[in-house]
Amino acid sequence: MDALLAELTAIAGPEHVLTDPDLVAGYTTDWTRRFSGSARCVIRPAGTGEVAAVLLACARHGAPVVPQGGNTGLVGGGVPGALGGGGAVVLSARRLRRLDPVDTLSGQVTAGAGITIAELRTHAARAGLEYGVDLAARDSATVGGTIATNAGGIQTIRYGPTRAQLLGLEAVLADGSVISRLGGIQADNTGYDLTQLLAGSEGTLGVITAARLRLWPAEPPTLTVLAGVPGIQAAAALAAEIRSLLPGLRAAEYFEAPGLALVRAHTGLPAPMGREYPAYLLADAAASDHDTERIVVLAQLQEAAVAMDGQARAGLWAYRERHTESISAAGIPHKLDVALPAARLAGFRAALEEVMAKLDARAIMFGHIGVGNLHVNVLGPGPDDDRADAAVLRLAAEHGGTISAEHGIGRAKAGLLHLSRSAAEIAAMRAIKHALDPQGLLNPGVLFAP
Ligand code: FAD
Ligand code: MLT
Ligand code: ZN
């Protein structure tokens, strides 16, 4: 056993340092199967002290560290790179299982990085409160991973992304030092906001071990509408109309006929409506009775399915939430997650078709249209063929959009960061990275191209 492995084993215990290739494999290939690499070992520390000891040992030995949560990330950021990653230690945060009682006085909770979003939401619901982030990966995605990627999800339109839920965090930096801000003080104006700096840092600045999170008054959805529409512009317009009618709009999601066909083929679900449409808008609202009447009238004008009880609502949501697995069943997708100004969605959508035709590829589109976020899933090109990635992301930038709305940059888009960030911004980000991680050991190859 090499010296680092011996030290790591002493820190976490032999059962939590994995070297058996069969056990390590689940931590070195990402959810999409597009990204994989090799690791020296996987370590699963149980507390902040162990994480600090791990990072200190890795720093002494100059070993790169790849932080990992639920491994549901879609940009290759949570697994080691294919090149030069043979010596990386994968640090799984899943055993950081602290979950404090909900503080109902402040409407806050402290949760460990390894708690899943489903667990956190259930915990909050038992106290009559709600955690603002929800996503289809809720059963595996973790508090730490969602902070590190600043995850969005289906409720971003209502509560904002993960960083908007974040009141403070605890993290271990590359040198093993611990920064901790879990007091939950909302009015705190004491210099650089390190909590927000780590949100969206994708494991490149520190390992998040716990977070202090804002909770919201529970506001269960009462109404789900699935409307057939002629295309993306109509979907965006309908979402805006519903939003103006319903202050309690909780989700405004989009998908198209080709994606629905893949979902139906993969899941065996029946057609959602009497006839087929080019595109669909799915909206969720916490509506009063009066609002409900108005929305039903609006829905009738649009030929829509309306569901008001839990089971029927879940039935409509399945058409949207099962897109990711259904697309993956059809091939290894290039998952490109962009956001555009509402007025430019249709122009982007049309130009995308031309790009796909040139590349002999097809794009399955869906996303969180209420916040302008489109998931462009390109099927056809091989996993290592980056031409479609570059073309789609360039197109998004040309249409005034961003190359990452919610999934992050990861390894997948590191070489294209300049499409959304200026040279001065990238230089400032690199300076921050160098100041906190001078040896470049935390997630090398993620966010910044090597
Ligand atoms: P991982 O995948 O393990 O890691 C993601 C990144 O965070 C990596 O860069 C990793 O190094 C870093 N990281 C993980 N844990 C830590 C830690 N403790 N400290 C520091 N860095 C860490 N994303 C959305 O934003 N919105 C969605 O609606 C959405 N829906 C999804 C649906 C499905 C079916 C799937 C498979 C994925 C979806 N995702 C979505 C993507 C994914 O769930 C998110 O990116 C999520 O935030 C990843 O969390 P994780 O715990 O799985 O992190
Ligand atoms: C979603 O909105 O379902 C996710 O971001 C997952 C995906 O893009 O496939
Ligand atoms: Zn999404």
What's the confidence (pLDDT) of residue 77? 98
In the reported structure, the alpha carbon of residue 64 is separated from the centroid of ligand 1 by a whole-number distance in angstroms of 20
Residue 324, ligand 1, Cβ within 6 A: yes
330: number of Cβ within 10 Å: 15
Q: Is the pLDDT of residue 299 over 90?
A: no
Tokens standing for 411? 């390894």
Residue 67, ligand 1, Cβ within 6 A: yes
The CA distance from 130 to 109, in Å, is 11
Q: Which of 220-234, 295-309, 412-426 is predicted least confidently?
A: 295-309
**Dihedrals phi, psi of 128, to nearest 5 degrees:** 75, 20
Sorting pLDDT into bands at 50, 70 and 90, what band is 246? confident
pLDDT, tens digit, for every residue of 164-179? 999 999 999 999 999 9
Of all ligands present, the nearest one to the C-alpha of 408 is 1
Sorting pLDDT into bands at 50, 70 and 90, what band is 370? very high
Residue 149, ligand 2, Cβ within 6 A: no
In percent, the amount of the chain with pLDDT more than 70 equals: 96
Backbone conformation region of residue 38, classed left if phi is above 0, alpha if psi is from -120 to 50, else beta: beta
Q: Is the pLDDT of residue 97 over 70?
A: yes
Residue 326, ligand 1, Cβ within 6 A: no
The CA distance from 127 to 119, in Å, is 13
- Prediction pTM value: 0.97
- Which whole number is the average pLDDT over 426-446? 98
Q: Is the pLDDT of residue 85 over 60?
A: no
In percent, the amount of the chain with pLDDT more than 90 equals: 88
Q: 367-400 as b/e, with b when 16 or more CB fall inside 10 Å?
A: bbbbbbbbbbbbbebeeeebebbebbbebbbebe
Angle, vertex CA 263, rays to CA 261 and CA 266, nearest 5: 105
Of all ligands present, the nearest one to the C-alpha of 324 is 2
Q: Is the pLDDT of residue 301 over 70?
A: no
Of all ligands present, the nearest one to the C-alpha of 133 is 1
Residue 322, ligand 2, Cβ within 6 A: no
**Looking at ligand 1, which atom is closest to the CA of residue 202?**
9
What's the confidence (pLDDT) of residue 86? 57
Residue 375, ligand 2, Cβ within 6 A: yes
Sorting pLDDT into bands at 50, 70 and 90, what band is 300? low
What's the confidence (pLDDT) of residue 245? 80
Residue 32, ligand 1, Cβ within 6 A: no
Sorting pLDDT into bands at 50, 70 and 90, what band is 304? confident
What's the confidence (pLDDT) of residue 286? 85
- Which whole number is the average pLDDT over 294-322? 84
Count of all residues that appear for the chain in the document? 450
Residue type (1 letter), 191: G
- Which whole number is the average pLDDT over 68-89? 87
134: number of Cβ within 10 Å: 20
What's the confidence (pLDDT) of residue 221? 76
> What is the separation of C-alpha 311 from the centre of its chain, rounded to a whole number of angstroms?
26
Q: Which of 3-17, 33-47, 277-291 is predicted least confidently?
A: 277-291
Ligand 1 mutation pick, 135, 282, 328, 335, max ligand atoms within 8 A of CB: 135
Average pLDDT over the chain, rounded to whole? Answer: 95
pLDDT, tens digit, for every residue of 208-233? 999 999 999 998 777 899 999 999 99
**Contact (CB, 8 A) for 297 and 242:** no
Q: Dihedral of the CA atoms 34, 35, 36, 39 (nearest 10)? A: -160
**Contact (CB, 8 A) for 61 and 77:** no
The CA distance from 35 to 283, in Å, is 33
C-alpha separations of 199 from 25, 64, 208 in Å: 28, 21, 9
Residue 324, ligand 2, Cβ within 6 A: yes
Which 3 state secondary structure label does DSSP give 336?
strand
Q: Is the pLDDT of residue 147 over 70?
A: yes
Q: Is the pLDDT of residue 160 over 90?
A: yes
424: number of Cβ within 10 Å: 8
Sorting pLDDT into bands at 50, 70 and 90, what band is 305? confident
Residue 328, ligand 2, Cβ within 6 A: no
pLDDT, tens digit, for every residue of 29-78? 999 999 999 999 999 999 999 999 999 999 999 999 999 999 999 999 99
